[in-house]
Amino acid sequence: MATAPWWRGAVIYQIYPRSFLDTNGDGVGDLPGIIARLDHVASLGVDAIWVSPFFTSPMADYGYDIADFRDVDPLFGTLADFDRLLAEAHARGIRVMIDQVLSHSSDQHPWFTESRAGRDNPRADWYVWADPKPDGTPPNNWLSIFGGGAWTWEPRREQYYLHNFLSSQPQLNFHNPAVRTAMLDNLRFWLDRGVDGMRLDSINFCFHDAQLRDNPAKPAHLRVGRGFSADNPYAYQYHHYNNTQPENLALMEELRALFDRYPGATTLGEISSEDSLGTMAEYVTGKRLHMGYSFELLVEDRSAAYIRQTVENLESRMSDGWPCWALSNHDVQRAVTRWSDGTGGDAPTDDFARQLVALVCSLRGSVCLYQGEELGLPEADVPYEKLRDPYGIAFWPNFKGRDGCRTPMPWTGDADAGFSPVEPWLPVPDAHRARSVAAQDADPDSVLNAARRFLRWRSAQPVLVGGDIAFIDAPEPVLAFNRTLGDERVLVVFNLSGAAVSWPLPAGMTLRALDGHGLAAGAVDGGELRLPPHGVFFARID
Ligand code: GLC
């Protein structure tokens, strides 16, 4: 039997470099800081790291606004530091994925400087330019996710340019073949350096409707989406025309053809559309991306019914594709806070934090674990005066933005959290210092040590890494499913609440409990499975 590619079922640890470790005393993390903490990463037993953008950038969106796709921002180090990171990670058996932003650049990118200068330069058509309507207003009703209209006026051209995010993140024009070629060349630059894969930011935003048609209005009861504040007008539209255009599928195929020339290199597309699961299924097939992930488990609903419906919906539409799931990342409130049912009071329980790691690692797919998830960090409460995220500043106070999940890693319980000798770019909450790596390292029962045990145990269970998934009917708060690989079938059950529950087991199942995962485990009592608060149960079905 051919061995599965490394990324199928892999656990990918996401590093937000600004907040990992500061080694040069500027209050911001850097690439040498990641190198210095690779032993921590290795101790988790993960397969790969995904490093959020560290490229040259004015940092308006903290690196997701790139001014040079082929260089390291001096804030983070140098290309030589990156090469060293790659070598040091590989020496520890950790693969390295970088974050590539294809859809837009920074307004400081030389391409944009040239493009905005006039209508007849070689890059005039590299971004999305459009004339105003006769009354001077923007060409259509498209909106920016980060607030306000998606069009900004450029006096030099007497035209508007499109931006789906900040006005300093102009949208590249993928209808122009020269743009596609240039962006693929940028990817090749990093593949040639030896990266093992790429997380492809906002990958369904690459093309826009060439006719610039208006997006239709969305009724109030349907205005939900990726971490939107209820008052974000972006939620008031169906985004039929500003993203997820049919032309993008050919780009996914071009990307795959490029990656196929680098054995083992993988792609993970970030997808956020009107029907993200449908788009994931469409984008992730043999000839397109290797994996996709969306915001569908990064929302507020944490019911067993919602998790089941989300995974089943994707599974039923995906043919040969492979999903990737995440419960936390640098864009949303941390999961232990977002999904807390309040049973742990203000401080979410450690059992819950341990269970969430097990839950995301038990679904069919690969996993992104976000730095700090292994510590059970709750969302930080960053006061308005300290907010840095323009998205949060625009929508405060109903939506506080993304700073609360981006605060520095607490390495020690010291005043500086062992992160930086100077005041860090975002404050470290006291509650995080109390959950530092040093403190948890010393405690065998900590969330950190439980996560280490669980991840190692999981990687020795091929059925959990690569098996199929089928859900079993169970009332809230029980989430139950089977994973199957060849002749092996495993029952997986989670009690998603902070109170003990009993669940009558389906008739005719002969079970042999699997232990060694180290979590609060349920036990069979007659025909019932008794699960402690946030308990789990894994059993082989004979
Ligand atoms: C993605 C990133 C987010 C960024 C946006 C624009 O959604 O995850 O952090 O702000 O794209 O690049």
The pLDDT of 380-389, averaged and rounded, is 98
- Is the pLDDT at 1 greater than 60, yes or no? no
476 and 342 in one domain?
Answer: no
Neighbours of 394 (CB within 10 A): 16
User: 488 lies in which domain range?
Assistant: 467-541
With vertex at residue 428, the alpha carbon angle to CA 426 and CA 429, rounded to the nearest 5 degrees, is 125
Within a 10 A sphere around the Cβ of 131, how many other Cβ atoms? 11
pLDDT value at 346 more than 50: no
Kindly state whether residues 267 and 391 are assigned to the same domain: yes
**Residue holding tokens 């098996």?**
467
Q: Do 484 and 428 fall within a single domain?
A: no
Does the CB atom of residue 65 touch ligand 1 within 6 A?
A: no
> Of ligand 1's atoms, which has the minimum distance to the CA of residue 104?
12
Comparing 68 with 226, the larger pLDDT belongs to 68
What does the block give as tokens for 100? 């590539």
pLDDT tens digits, residue range 453-497? 999 999 999 999 999 999 999 999 999 999 999 999 999 999 999
- Average pLDDT rounded to a whole number, residues 304-320: 96
Find out whether the beta carbon of 99 lies less than 6 Å from any atom of ligand 1: no
201 is catalytic: yes
Of the two residues 344 and 437, the one the predictor is more confident about is: 437
Q: Structure pTM? A: 0.98
**165: Cβ below 6 Å to ligand 1?**
yes
Domain boundary among 397, 424, 458: 458
Quick one: average pLDDT of 179-205?
Answer: 98
Q: Which of 154, 201, 374, 389 is catalytic?
A: 201
Best probe residue, ligand 1, of 50, 172, 202, 391 (max atoms within 8 Å of C-beta): 202
Encode pLDDT of 161-172 as tens digits: 999 999 999 999
CA within 13 Å, CB half, 441: 12
Is 427 found in the same domain as 476?
no
Q: Based on the domain organization, do 186 and 272 belong to the same domain?
A: yes
CATH number of residue 479's parent domain: 2.60.40.1180
- Pick the catalytic residue from 22, 73, 270, 315: 270
Asked if the structure places residue 75 within a domain, the reply is yes
Looking at the structure of the chain, the number of domains it has is 2
Closest C-alpha among 228, 321, 225 to residue 273:
225
Does 202 contact ligand 1 (Cβ within 6 A)?
yes
| Within-domain flag for 147 | no
Name 120's Cβ contacts closer than 8 Å, sequence gap at least 6.
none
Q: For residue 378, give the amino acid letter.
A: P
pLDDT digits (tens, 9 = 90+) for 506-516: 988 899 999 99
C-alpha of residue 238 to centroid of ligand 1, in Å: 19
Are 534 and 495 within 8 A, CB to CB?
yes
pLDDT value, residue 319: 86
Residues 473 and 498 both lie in one domain: yes
The residue out of 433, 458, 483 marking a domain boundary is 458
How close is the Cα of 161 to the center of ligand 1, in Å? Answer: 19
In a domain, 154, yes or no: no
Q: Which residue has the tokens 């043919």?
A: 319
My answer on whether 268 and 200 are in the same domain is yes
Q: Whose CA is nearest to atom 6 of ligand 1?
A: 64
Question: 401 and 278, same structural domain?
Answer: yes
Cβ–ligand 1 distance for 143 under 6 Å, the answer no
Counting from 1 in the atom list of ligand 1, the atom nearest the Cα of 146 is: 10
Residue 401 sits in a domain of what CATH number? 3.20.20.80
- Any ligand 1 atom below 6 A from CB of 64: yes
Q: Which tops the pLDDT comparison, 377 or 346?
A: 377
Q: What pLDDT digit, counting tens, does each position of 241-284 carry?
A: 999 999 999 999 999 999 999 999 999 999 999 999 999 999 99
Average pLDDT, rounded, for the chain: 96
312 found inside a domain: yes
| 476 and 433 in a common domain | no
The amino acid sitting at 38 is L
Q: Which residues in 29-110 belong to E strands, given as ranges? A: 48-51, 55-56, 68-72, 95-101
**Residues 414, 347 share a domain:** yes
What residue owns the CA closest to ligand 1's atom 2? Answer: 201
Please check the confidence at residue 344 and state whether its pLDDT lies above 80: no
Ligand 1 centroid to residue 202 C-alpha, Å = 7
Q: Is residue 148 part of a domain?
A: no
3-state helix vs strand vs coil in the chain, percent to 5: 30, 20, 50
The finding on whether 101 has its CB within 6 A of some atom of ligand 1 is: yes
Could you tell me if 281 and 428 lie in one domain? yes
74 lies in some domain: yes
Find the 491 Cα to ligand 1 centroid distance in Å.
Answer: 36
Does the CB atom of residue 62 touch ligand 1 within 6 A?
no
pLDDT band at 349 (very low <50, low <70, confident <90, very high): confident
β-sheet bridge partners, residue 170: none
For residue 102, which of 205, 189, 14, 196 has the smallest C-alpha distance? Answer: 205
Residue 160 within any structural domain of the chain: no
64 C-alpha vs ligand 1 centroid, how far in Å? 6
Domain contains 250: yes
